[in-house]
Amino acid sequence: MVNTPLDGNQTSSDSSSVDIVPLVWLSAALAALAGLMFGLDIGVISGALGLIKEEFHVSTLTEGWIVSSMMGGAAVGALGAGWVSNSWGRKNALLAASVLFFVGALVVAMAPNVDIIIVGRILLGLAVGVASFTAPLYLSEIAPERIRGTMISFYQLMVTVGILAAFVSGLAFSYIHSWRGMFGILCVPSAVLFIGVLLVPNSPRWLASRDRFDEAKEMLGKLRASRAEVEKEMSEITAAVNSDDHTSGWKLLARNSNFRRSVALGIALQLVQQFTGMNAMMYFAPRIFEQTGFGSEAQLWSTVLVGLVNVLATVIAIGFVDRIGRKPILYLGFTVMAAGLAVVAAIMAVGASTSFLQFTALIALLVFVAGFAMSAGPLVWTLCSEIQPLAGRDFGISCSTFANWASNMALGAFFLLMLNNLGGPVTFGIMCVCNLLYIVFTWAFIPETKGVSLEHIERNLMSGKPLRQIGR
């Protein structure tokens, strides 16, 4: 265990009087723009798919490829992102992601055939993989710990805004039948992201991990309001960098059982997030609304409503994450999700025969979405970037982000099969039970990291404390 002059709890109470400099907000806004791109990419396909199908007469199998090629690219991108952001730095990784976004969007928008659409979707996926890895990591490294949760949740808010914007633009462009427009417009935020990232500072923690301590201190000076804060944080970072176990990646994994625990927790958190079933709503909402008895126009508008509730409920998480903590919000979120799913399963079992039952099913699905958006949506990304030790942070987050995209892809591939073969009541019943089990998982394994410095979490992890106690 590394001894530093500071204790994390002490740090958190001290910092309550500390100002946040504007550059922190600017950097946060730009990293969050990467979240917007993430959301646009997730949401764009739901509106575009029907039109692409109409133009190229594709088979159901090819349709599947068009959807999942992006997630496959993202899984690969997330794996490569660890290396890129470790050797090139967080800033350059975000720049690379914005270039990939731009090129990918352009390739799809101008594609002469389906093969090229798939190539463009893979490029977009690579971009999302790199961005979804780097942006929360960068935010966690530049944020003062008092507002760390808020800032990473803000990133998730942008993901949800992106999804909503894509749903709305899908609806708008569908009137002029232009799926190319839906993709082409993505070039604009990619260009803004590129230019914006050029302006933000490098992560002091990354600089220190490359033994560039002077630059790290200089950057920290720009990001903190007082000298005292800079000195305090720099001594923590230096202690973490100089700790005994400064091996990284696979070597650290092989050598250090405590690191294996944090990597396993990160992967488990992302699997839990995906197997809440949220993306079933993101990708197949119209289909689910069809099963609860909605006509085609109502299906599209209800989908936009899903996007809207997703945004609004994320705002709740932002307001509370650094006030009441991660665990209480997760308990509440999983309970709300399980309740919503139980109601949907029950209505599907008896058949949504009356408009009252249809309306109740819609509300229950929205309750489910709200439950996710206020809890597992933002908090899983927050926790994943908080629990890894500095030496293995890139590797650990790379593994968990890969798990997010791989399970995302699996859900995309199997959800409709489940729905068709097992039926609505069983499928939603299974999802409900899973969410109930996650309450136990939260109690048993998830630490409370509210207001605790990353270095303090690292010391607790490396000293062998049970995972649920590595926070406060």
Q: In whole angstroms, how close is the CB of 195 to ligand BGC at the nearest point? A: 26
Query: Of 190, 216, 214, nearest to 202 (Cα)?
Result: 216
Residue closer to ligand BGC (CB basis): 134 or 258: 134
Q: In whole angstroms, how close is the CB of 129 to ligand BGC at the nearest point? A: 12
Does residue 159 touch ligand BGC according to CB under 6 A? yes
Q: In whole angstroms, how close is the CB of 160 to ligand BGC at the nearest point? A: 5
Using CB under 6 A, pick the residue from 150, 160, 202, 388 that binds ligand BGC. Answer: 160
User: What is the per-residue burial (b if ≥16 Cβ within 10 Å, else e) of 409-424?
Assistant: bebbeebbebbeeeeb
> Of 326-385, which residues contact ligand BGC (CB under 6 A)?
377, 381
Q: In whole angstroms, how close is the CB of 90 to ligand BGC at the nearest point? A: 19
Q: In whole angstroms, how close is the CB of 274 to ligand BGC at the nearest point? A: 6
Q: What is the helix (H) or strand (E) element at residue 6, kind and residue range?
A: none
Q: In whole angstroms, how close is the CB of 387 to ligand BGC at the nearest point? A: 17
Coil, strand or helix at 143: coil
Query: To 10 degrees, what angle do helices 187-199 and 22-56 make?
Result: 160
Q: In whole angstroms, how close is the CB of 361 to ligand BGC at the nearest point? A: 20
Interior angle at CA 144, CA 140 and CA 149, nearest 5: 55
Q: CB atoms < 10 A from the CB of 112, how many? A: 7
Rg (alpha carbons) of the chain, rounded to whole number: 22
Using CB under 6 A, pick the residue from 85, 86, 150, 156 that binds ligand BGC. Answer: 156
Q: Distance between CA 456 and CA 104 in Å, rounded?
A: 40
- When CB distances to ligand BGC are compared, the closest residue is 377
Q: In whole angstroms, how close is the CB of 301 to ligand BGC at the nearest point? A: 19
Q: Distance between CA 75 and CA 273 in Å, rounded?
A: 16
User: What is the per-residue burial (b if ≥16 Cβ within 10 Å, else e) of 86-111?
Assistant: beebbbebbbbbbebbbbbbbbbbeb
Using CB under 6 A, pick the residue from 404, 407, 427, 449 that binds ligand BGC. Answer: 404
Does residue 42 touch ligand BGC according to CB under 6 A? yes
Query: Of 272, 269, 209, nearest to 396 (Cα)?
Result: 269
Q: Distance between CA 183 and CA 170 in Å, rounded?
A: 10
Q: In whole angstroms, how close is the CB of 373 to ligand BGC at the nearest point? A: 6
Q: In whole angstroms, how close is the CB of 120 to ligand BGC at the nearest point? A: 20
Residue closer to ligand BGC (CB basis): 310 or 442: 310
Does residue 68 touch ligand BGC according to CB under 6 A? no
Residue closer to ligand BGC (CB basis): 256 or 279: 279
Q: In whole angstroms, how close is the CB of 273 to ligand BGC at the nearest point? A: 6
Does residue 163 touch ligand BGC according to CB under 6 A? yes
Does residue 75 touch ligand BGC according to CB under 6 A? no
Token output for 100: 């990939």
Scanning 79-87, 152-160, 187-195, 435-443 for contacts with ligand BGC by CB under 6 A, the matching segment is 152-160
Query: Of 402, 467, 391, nearest to 130 (Cα)?
Result: 402
> Of 274-293, which residues contact ligand BGC (CB under 6 A)?
278-279, 282
Q: Distance between CA 251 and CA 327 in Å, rounded?
A: 32
**Per-residue binder mask for ligand BGC (CB under 6 A), 241-280, x = binder:** --------------------------------x----xx-
Total residues in contact with ligand BGC, by rule CB under 6 A? 14
Q: Which residues contact 105 (CB under 8 A, 6 or more apart)?
A: 120, 124, 183, 184, 186, 187, 190
Residue closer to ligand BGC (CB basis): 308 or 430: 308
Q: Which residues contact 322 (CB under 8 A, 6 or more apart)?
A: 146, 147, 148, 149, 150, 450, 451
Token output for 293: 């008895």
Does residue 100 touch ligand BGC according to CB under 6 A? no
Residue closer to ligand BGC (CB basis): 134 or 248: 134
Q: Distance between CA 393 and CA 262 in Å, rounded?
A: 10
Using CB under 6 A, pick the residue from 68, 203, 276, 310 that binds ligand BGC. Answer: 310
Residues that bind ligand BGC (CB under 6 A): 42, 156, 159-160, 163, 273, 278-279, 282, 310, 377, 381, 404, 408
